[in-house]
Amino acid sequence: MSSLPTTDPLPSPVRTEPVDVVLVGGHGYGLVHLRELERLAAAGQARLVACADTRPAGGEAGVIAARLGAAWLDDYRQAIEHYRPQVVVVAAPPHLHASMGEFAMEAGCDLYLEKPPTATSADLARLLDTMARTGRFCQVGFQSLGSDALQHVARLAGRDAADPSATLGATGRWQRDRRYWTRGAWTGRASVNGSPAGDGALSNPFAHAVMNCIAVGGAPVGAVEVERYRANPIEVEDTACLRVKTASGASWVVAVTLCAERPEEPALHVRTGGRSLVWHYTQDVVDLVEGGERARQTFTRRSLLAELLDVVSGQEGSLSCPLAWSRPFVAIVEAVHAAPVRPIEERWIRVEGAGEDAHPIISEADAVIEEAVSTGRLFSELGVAWAG
């Protein structure tokens, strides 16, 4: 079964008016929220009153904000204090999450906080204390926890837990070009102005892979083993693996790269002697192979933002990822950031594309990632040449 606790439904009167929302961070991933807010506005659930971003309105973000009649400000504090929204959505760089979330809740707003929620347990504790003191709700943007596939996968994994041959893990194989690592002052950085940046393959692009393993396999107990590598000229990892031991004595492995030979959507894997289950969590699809038979099932997914709006406006419902559930994830992120980052020798790297489109590819990265998860071993334990 899932290691995350269940939350009781929160019944209250039926909403009659849309919820006023301020979005902090309109560009980058904030554009995803703008599109969602436009859909929710059309359904009568939300009203975007302002967007706060230090960059001027422009492109699709500016068009959507204007279409929704939302103001565009360069100061999130001013936007929150002037418009006094019921909900604030924070889609800003991770090292700003704690201060922005704290300000929003102190101002009487409920909060939707993008992942990673914070880069340190101390910042998370601050936010949890603020939430308890102000009585606000906070949903964290681990969208895959809103998938109906989660409970299905957790149930099957629970059945397999007694099998000594069972393995659990997650793979991630994407490619990211130079533009990805230069899109912001915090990207590819270990810290910004002395604060952990919360970036890196494990804590940001593949954060869902880690959180899904926590939800299905259990939270860490004791040390978290981490290996971090980089093919790009950055301060954080673009390729990594981690192994987590849980309270049951079992362990799970996450192995990922942003320098894949052949990109593939990330997935959670549960394997036993008689069954193989793969949850393609970005697509809400589960493939099951058992007894020589293969079956594919597609699941629905709840919008975590819509879920929060329902809760704060009086609909019956509960949060799929309340802030407290982020504790084990943030503990893992701290362990990841404490581990050294090892550069991969150039002889194991080839570069495709040119200019901002150039992206490195690590030799045999795809096979190494698959083997690490299927065997429960770290890269260095597999004898990988570039892993040292």
Residue extents of the structural domains in the chain: 19-143, 148-300+331-387
pLDDT of residue 222: 84
Nearest Cα to Cα of residue 306 among 1, 28, 25, 44 = 44
Distance in angstroms (rounded) separating the CA atoms of residues 298 and 341: 38
74-81 average pLDDT score: 98
Residue 357 has pLDDT above 60, yes or no: yes
CATH superfamily of 148-300+331-387: Dihydrodipicolinate Reductase; domain 2 (3.30.360.10)
For residue 191, give both structure tokens: 């810290």
Mean pLDDT to the nearest integer, 330-347: 97
pLDDT at position 242: 98
pLDDT tens-digit series, residues 18-59: 999 999 999 999 999 999 999 999 999 999 999 999 999 999
Second-level CATH architecture of 19-143: 3-Layer(aba) Sandwich (3.40)
Statement: residue 98 has pLDDT above 70: yes
Q: 146 near 304, Cβ under 8 Å?
A: yes
Residues 6+ apart with CB under 8 A from 198: 93, 94, 95, 97, 116, 118, 119, 186, 204, 333
Q: Are 183 and 176 in contact (CB under 8 A)?
A: no
User: Considering the entire predicted model, what is its pTM?
Assistant: 0.94
